[in-house]
Amino acid sequence: MTAQQPVLHQSPRPQTLAQKLIAAACGRAAVDEGEIVTCAVDLAMFHDSSGPRRLQPMLQELGATLWDPSKVVLVIDHYVPESDDESRRIVRIARDWAAGQQLPNVYDSVGICHVVVPQHGHIRPGMFCVGGDSHSPTGGAFGAYMFGIGSTEMLGVAVTGQIWVKVPKTLMMRWRGRLAPGVTAKDMMLRMIGRYGMNGGRYQAVEFCGEAVRALSMQERMTLSNMSAELGSQVGLIAPDETTEAYLRAAGVTQELDLTRWHSDADADAEWHDFDASTLAPQVAAPHSPANARDVDQYGDVPVQVAYIGACTGAKLEDLRAAASVLRGRRLAAGMRLMVAPASQQDQQQADQEGVMQVLREAGADVLPTSCGACAGYGGSIPDGASVISTTARNFKGRMGSETAQVYLASPYTVAASAVAGRIADPREFTA
């Protein structure tokens, strides 16, 4: 529930999870698809690229102040470590503004916003949140309504603490069965994007459900919700359960968590799509779109020179563990470069303690800083003309910095297997 609105538990008609979250945020018992309502925002997330450097001059021009600094989280993750004068300028603006505003929640150079914010317990079931980044739907993994907005919309939120939203139709993505070893949430997302395209969600609400989704860890669920942006959806929701609660308790959350309220009603109006997780093969998306996804065995003769394990979709602790399970006792193919940019310092420290980072280094990986890095085209680490296999969410032309690189998307298992083989490889050949 939101802090600003009264508790209204009883709905007069069946509601989807998306409808329940929006209704709570606008102080209603229920909302109807297509309605436009004004919602109170529980949390607004900025980062150094989207936040202070754009908001500060607009706020000054208006003579306005933040509606509630305690509900703002700033993460400095895009332009760090600063590599040039422009990066230093942007980061300095963010740091100075945070100090001037006395923001209580600032995470500077400790990892990627979509991983760092949940790790510190900021997103909980029932919340209504916005973020200044297109992958903000990551928060939906926690049973929260969270979506990305632009700078002008964020200005309105920063001043008023409110935003309007059109109540979306819900597309239910139901996954039956269980994933096979070496197959991940990243493969699930690439399959869905490959089937429906990047506008498959039609800017509606997507909810992931079914046995296979319930079996996923929180970090894997975060990958699903994160890449709902590539599916074209506003949000990517997963109903909270005991797995959600265990993660949040470990993150230091002490507030009461409602695990029963934030679920879609069984007879709520939604559009259903079914998938069988047990038959899913590892997926690879060819340049230059995540929608170019096919089974890995269709790429057996494609050579790669660079492998990248990074980003909020592909370098969390469990992603690093997956890559290490393939690379343990093996070396990179001749001429191959493997770059690993852990998603957060917390995940990297845990991976170090477990020996995971040592496995990656011994295999020949170069370990890069915990930041957005090459995923957002910063750092200049992707060479021109290279064929790259990457755990990132997007492979648009020029997305990783080089206009001439050919970028293939895959899971950490598949990226690691390909780094050993020197070509796109099926990870199941290395994990059996």
Find tokens 């703002």 and name the residue.
Answer: 72
pLDDT in tens, 324-344: 999 999 999 999 999 999 999
The model's pTM is 0.95
Q: Are residues 240 and 297 in the same domain?
A: no
Q: Are residues 178 and 205 in the same domain?
A: yes
Question: What pLDDT is attached to residue 4?
Answer: 46
Question: What pLDDT is attached to residue 396?
Answer: 67
Which portions of the chain are predicted below pLDDT 50?
Answer: 1-8
Query: What is the torsion angle, in degrees rounded to the nearest 10, for the CA atoms of residue 263, residue 268, residue 273 and residue 277?
Result: 30
Residue 6 located in a structural domain: no
* Total number of domains constituting the chain: 2
d(CA 173, CA 180): 19
**Beta-strand runs (E) in 286-386:** 293-295, 306-310, 337-341, 366-367
Q: Are residues 299 and 272 in the same domain?
A: no
Q: Are residues 335 and 221 in the same domain?
A: no
Q: Are residues 242 and 310 in the same domain?
A: no
Quick check: helix, strand or coil at residue 157?
helix
Q: Are residues 272 and 322 in the same domain?
A: no
Q: Are residues 159 and 95 in the same domain?
A: yes
Q: Are residues 271 and 303 in the same domain?
A: no
Q: Are residues 23 and 145 in the same domain?
A: yes
Question: What pLDDT is attached to residue 385?
Answer: 85
Question: What pLDDT is attached to residue 3?
Answer: 45
Question: What pLDDT is attached to residue 378?
Answer: 72
Q: Whose CA is closest to 277, among 171, 188, 173? A: 188
Quick check: helix, strand or coil at residue 18?
helix
CATH number at residue 357: 3.30.499.10
Residue 331 located in a structural domain: yes
Question: What pLDDT is attached to residue 375?
Answer: 74
Q: Domain residues for 90? A: 17-252+267-276
Q: Are residues 224 and 306 in the same domain?
A: no
User: Structure tokens of 221?
Assistant: 């669920």
User: Structure tokens of 85?
Assistant: 């004068």
Quick check: helix, strand or coil at residue 310?
strand
Question: What pLDDT is attached to residue 379?
Answer: 63
**At which of 214, 243, 276 does a domain end?**
276
Question: What pLDDT is attached to residue 231?
Answer: 94
Q: Cα angle at 240 between 128 and 50, to 5 degrees? A: 35
Residue 12 located in a structural domain: no
Question: What pLDDT is attached to residue 401?
Answer: 76
Q: Are residues 272 and 293 in the same domain?
A: no
Residue 1 located in a structural domain: no
Q: Are residues 241 and 290 in the same domain?
A: no
Residue 292 located in a structural domain: yes
Question: What pLDDT is attached to residue 300?
Answer: 80
Residue 134 located in a structural domain: yes
Residue 7 located in a structural domain: no
Residue 24 located in a structural domain: yes
Question: What pLDDT is attached to residue 201?
Answer: 64
d(CA 108, CA 192): 34
pLDDT in tens, 19-39: 999 999 999 999 999 999 999
